[in-house]
Structure 1
Amino acid sequence: MQAVIEVRRDDPRRESRHFAHRDGEIEPAGSNSVSGVVTDLSRSGFRIVVDEPLAAESVVWLKVGGHGPFMARVVWYDGTAAGCEFAGKLQPELVERLLQA
């Protein structure tokens, strides 16, 4: 599957976000993994649509396209999707691989 890449220039965030539609999974600390769809990705975080509730400030591990796990914390959860911040910024080359894997 090829990812569609779109840089959102009107977003005031620190890092450029890229539109994505990538199957992935997250594993909350101490729980089983949960499948989801990563809908945007940046060096500093991601948004993922999941069917399971996630608690804000909880630690999760992300896997996408055979890459990872990458440690992150849940910043928000709205009942459908979660916004997460990576523990450390990803290298730009790694972001490109995640989008295209």
Structure 2
Amino acid sequence: MYLISPDRYAIAAQEDRCAPRTRLTIPVRLRLSGAGAIETMVHDLSISGFSAATLNRMHEGQLCWLTLPGLEARQAQVVWWDACKVGCAFSEMLSPIVHERLLARYSRDG
């Protein structure tokens, strides 16, 4: 019998995202719990999460807050960090209307 390890399950779950991500570049502020905010760039965005550039090491499960242009800070949780890039899941999904507005303004295709 073949058993899937918890680590392999977590990787598979990350690949099974609930919403498609769109590649774009958005200037944002990102703040890790207990730290000051940094100016950085979001590189992809969905209604459920994002990835962004960060020089600061972030650990799975840590809370952070992302401030998108024109919006209040949104809480998210770190899902992965690799080579100065972090992937996070929003605690509450973005509104589809807000998401579409951001895509229209910042999408690489737009």
Shared fold (TM-score, shorter chain, > 0.5):
yes
Structure with a larger share of its residues in strand: 1
CA distance in 1, matches of 2:61, 2:90: 12
Counterpart of 1:38 (choices 37, 42, 60) is 42
Give the conservation status (yes or no) of the 8 Å contact 1:58–1:74: yes
After TM superposition, the runs of 4+ consecutive aligned structure 1 residues lying more than 6 A away are none
Secondary structure of 1:72 counterpart: strand
Matched, 1:59 2:66: no
Give the alignment's TM-score, normalised by structure 2: 0.75
Counterpart of 1:17 (choices 17, 21, 26) is 21
1:14 corresponds to which letter in structure 2?
C
Structure with a larger share of its residues in helix: 2
CA separation of 1:74 and 1:62: change in aligned 2, threshold 3 A: same
Q: Deviations over 1:33-89 (max 9, x none)?
A: 022110000010000011221121100000111312010000000031000000011
Sequence identity of aligned pairs in percent?
Answer: 30
Note the residue ranges of structure 2 that are not aligned, 5 or more in a row: 1-14
User: How many residue pairs are counted as aligned between the two chains?
Assistant: 91
Q: CA RMSD in A?
A: 1.6
